[in-house]
Amino acid sequence: MAISQQHTFDNLIDNVYRTHCLMQQTAQKSVNQLLEIQNWITGYYIVEYEQNGYDRAKYGERLIDEMSRNLKMKGLKGYSPISLRTIRSFYRTYPQIQQSVTVELQKTSFETYKQLPFSNIQIQQSPTVESCEAYPIPNEVLLSHLTYTHFVELMRAKEPLERLFYEVETIKNNWTVKQLERAFDTGLYVRTGLSR
């Protein structure tokens, strides 16, 4: 009888442990996707302001520095000038994410979504943003398999074909950011003969 109780107790512990791990992974994935969307929207705001802001001449070249300073005064962390430039590049490099942004935000909570300044804006891609026609990797796959840090690393690619190569390899091989960084540093793209 003691063996049966021990086995049942071990199953209990194992079930709780596996459930905890699965839920934690799911939560991390959700947080990562929301971070990607938040940064993409922030990049959108920056680009739109740069193109259409009525007082943009007031800030001129100092826009990012002024933004960083003002966001810090509001108590927000993680918006250094370097981070804001990266966020702007993220928006410009991955315009195809636009198609998933609204859908993903509406999943969070309709009331939360309605409170965002973004919710009532019809996004028009700016002419400076790379074309997103017929992108070979679906948005859902990009957002579900890559973290924002992956995207930052992928933006190191000089050409869209090189970036696509690393996106495919990262998704197919489930690379960590360190593994992706190593692939870049060792010139995997060039070594595979895909460069030209």
pLDDT tens-digit readout, 29-55: 888 888 999 999 999 999 988 888 777
Distance separating alpha carbons of residues 164 and 66, to the nearest angstrom:
34
Lowest mean pLDDT: which of 2-11, 12-21, 124-133? 124-133
The verdict on pTM exceeding 0.85 is no
**What whole-number percentage of the chain has pLDDT above 70?**
79
Instruction: Check residue 194 and give its pLDDT.
Output: 53
**59 within 8 A of 66, measured Cβ to Cβ:** yes
pLDDT in tens, 93-112: 998 888 777 666 666 655 66
Instruction: Check residue 112 and give its pLDDT.
Output: 63
Answer whether residue 195 shows pLDDT above 60. Answer: no
**89 within 8 A of 155, measured Cβ to Cβ:** yes
Q: What three-state secondary structure class fits 74? A: coil
Per-residue pLDDT band at 127 (split at 50, 70, 90): very low
Tokens 């924002």 found at = 148
pLDDT in tens, 153-176: 999 998 999 999 999 999 999 999
Answer whether residue 118 shows pLDDT above 90. Answer: no
Answer whether residue 25 shows pLDDT above 70. Answer: yes
- Beta strand ranges found along 93-171 (DSSP E): none
Instruction: Check residue 150 and give its pLDDT.
Output: 96
CA distances from 68 to 45, 86, 116 (A): 14, 13, 20
Per-residue pLDDT band at 191 (split at 50, 70, 90): confident
**33 within 8 A of 143, measured Cβ to Cβ:** yes
Distance separating alpha carbons of residues 121 and 102, to the nearest angstrom:
10
